[in-house]
Amino acid sequence: MTRAAGPVAAAAVPISDAAPPAFAMGEMSSAELTGTDADRLLAGDLARPRPDLGGLAELAAVLRVLRSTGRDTPPPPMRAPLLRQLGLGEPSPN
C-alpha cells in the first residue's frame, strides 16, 4: 500500500526550520500552565517566574514539600515480624 505523498512531505520539515513554540520565545502570555511548565516543576527547576500565572510559586513550594518528605523522611522502625523474617531477632525492650 502506498501512502499519499502530500501530507507526509509536508510533515517532514526539518526541525531546525520549524518555528519554535511561541511560549519558548516569551511571545505568548498564557494564563494556563503549559506542559513545559509542568515538566520543569516536576524536575524542580522552574527558575523563572511567570507573572501572568498566579499560584505558581505556591505550587512549586507544594512540590518541594512532597519531594523533601520523599528524600528526608527517616525509615520507620523495623517491627517484630520483619525482624523475625530477616532472622535478626526482636529488639530488646531496653
Partner 1 sequence: MQSSDRRSRPTTPPNRSRRDLPVTALVDNARAGCPIAFEHLYRRFAGQVASYLRWHRASDPDGLTNDVFAQVHRKLGGFEGDDRSFRSWLFTIAHHRMVDDRRRSSRQPMVQGEVGVDDTTAADWGDVEEDAFALLSHDSVRELLGVLSPDQRDVVLLRVVADLSVEEVARLLGKREGAVKALQHRALASLRRHLENQVALV
Going by C-alpha positions, the residue among 34, 33, 77 that lies closest to residue 55 is 33
Residue 24 is a binding residue for partner 1 (CB under 8 A): no
For 18-59, what is the HEC assignment? Answer: CCCCHHHHCCCCCCCCCHHHHHHHHCCCCCCCCCCCCCHHHH
Binding window for partner 1 (CB under 8 A); candidates: 3-11, 13-21, 30-38: 30-38
Say whether residue 45 binds partner 1 (CB under 8 A).
Answer: no
Among 55, 92, 93, 94, binds partner 1 (CB under 8 A): 55
- In this structure, how many other beta carbons lie within 10 angstroms of the beta carbon of residue 56? 16
Distance CA 90, CA 81 (A): 8
Does 32 participate in binding partner 1 (rule CB under 8 A)? yes
Cell 516536576 belongs to 42
Minimum Å distance from CB 22 to partner 1? 18
Residues in the interface with partner 1 (CB under 8 A) total: 42
Residues that bind partner 1 (CB under 8 A): 32-33, 35, 37-38, 41-42, 47-49, 53-67, 69-79, 81-82, 85-88
